[in-house]
Structure 1
């Protein structure tokens, strides 16, 4: 059983920050070609500008994945650079608070568009490209890994829209897994908590009490590095997970087993 992704080509969204960046860098270390995608062009260039481009295994792409033309341009760049696409990691996420009684609050449609619908649209088009590029029978065509959080199963008033969008992403994972199984494309998700994401880092960097609350509600007693999440994603993307599809793997140090949802940092 091989967990290798050496030589494979991956598209990683949310690739300029936090877990998306960590996943992409880990994939590079493991020998994969990686296209880092993010709306934050400045951060992409700052983090990856000196290691991406002609002659390297990395490329950067800035754009809004809610736009169909952006997705088409992303696929063109990927195929022009590496001739193939084997792995898609939907790691782009946004968090905004919900004001339930505010009639102007639009957090639910915004979160659904950003955290679920954009992943659906990109997955649909990438899957079609995988099918076209691998016409051989009985050969695995690719793997899609969606990045969710334990907020999908928890309830916190301020995170209503965020939780709903993550829950929708997890159901999208299961539904797409069934739809794409005949095409030999696997779809799974990783749900994380108590991992040092960009958003968690911003919440706790000047708040020792918040850090202690997160650690205290994590049975393993620590906050994980993004690399630990990246290794779980690698497993699901590799041939070693060749008979796994439609599953949501939780990487949270046991936190979701006992967290009373009193803490809004994930």
Structure 2
């Protein structure tokens, strides 16, 4: 699966998933540009992007691509959220916080992916766009997993990820004539820090989650990198509109 000399822009390349993906793609010969609000690794080309500033994003992206070259691949690994993300339960959420997170996450995914697709069309690029979704864009969160743990369900997250999945299919249908492929990668539960909190997942949650997973472990970011590589390469040239679930079989149950 060769990606040598491909120009790959990774939004959220400093994050939990984005950093190992960016490193893996660079190690396999791609020219990788990390688009993020923070720079976590000086080994990569870095350009600061804040998805909360969508009104200015088109101009900013054009300046960046003029500087570093036209995109062959765009990957979105970002996980934008407000400081009140952990409060988005069915019982404690409020409309303002809900709307802010939809705008930050779902709207930014939709808007920025389309900007990259339009640039690929202008440059007549046989491009690939890869969006990071979740198994919870397809299945509901299992409520019994959260009982007696420091985790809770999230009213916004499944809606956001389901929206990304459908956006992927719509984009794939629209841009197929331009030889632009659009797919999603949907991880299972990632081991590590809880989104929106400084806490790690507690052992009770992990034990419950793993007991439902045929492969008997949580997902690691290293489990995902080969999927991003495959979808970035020409070996996936006839695959579009698909959701690649990487969850150790969790969603089978």
Q: TM-score, normalised by structure 1?
A: 0.81
Deviation at 1:201, TM superposition (A): 11
Deviation at 1:206, TM superposition (A): 6.0
CA contact (8 A) 1:195 1:229 kept: no
After the TM superposition, which residues 94-105 of structure 1 pair with which residues of structure 2 at under 5 Å, given as runs?
Answer: 94=80, 96=85, 97-101=87-91, 104-105=94-95
Task: State the Cα deviation string for residues 227-251 of structure 1 (Å, max 9, x = none).
Answer: 2212111111211111110000100
**Partner Cα separation in structure 2 for residue 232 and residue 114 of structure 1:** 25
Show the counterpart of 2:57: 70
Residues matched between the structures, number: 239
**Partner Cα separation in structure 2 for residue 5 and residue 133 of structure 1:** 19
Q: Which runs of 5+ in 1 are unaligned?
A: 53-57, 135-139, 259-266
Show the counterpart of 1:187: 182
**Partner Cα separation in structure 2 for residue 198 and residue 239 of structure 1:** 34
Show the counterpart of 1:92: 78
Deviation at 1:68, TM superposition (A): 3.3
Bigger mean CA deviation after superposition, 162-171 or 195-204: 195-204
Show the counterpart of 2:138: 153
Show the counterpart of 2:120: 130
Show the counterpart of 1:19: 17
**Partner Cα separation in structure 2 for residue 201 and residue 163 of structure 1:** 16
Q: Is residue 214 of structure 1 aligned with residue 209 of structure 2?
A: yes
**Partner Cα separation in structure 1 for residue 89 and residue 197 of structure 2:** 21
Structure showing the higher helix proportion among its residues: 1
Going from structure 1 to structure 2, the CA distance change for 1:206 and 1:148 (only over 3 Å counts) comes to closer
**Partner Cα separation in structure 1 for residue 95 and residue 89 of structure 2:** 6
CA contact (8 A) 1:180 1:186 kept: yes
**Partner Cα separation in structure 2 for residue 72 and residue 215 of structure 1:** 45
Task: State the Cα deviation string for residues 68-107 of structure 1 (Å, max 9, x = none).
Answer: 32342133223312x2211111111246242435583334
After the TM superposition, which residues 223-242 of structure 1 pair with which residues of structure 2 at under 5 Å, given as runs?
Answer: 223-242=218-237
CA contact (8 A) 2:11 2:18 kept: yes
Q: TM-score, normalised by structure 2?
A: 0.84
166, 171, 175: which is aligned to 1:171?
166
**Partner Cα separation in structure 1 for residue 7 and residue 250 of structure 2:** 33
**Partner Cα separation in structure 1 for residue 11 and residue 106 of structure 2:** 13
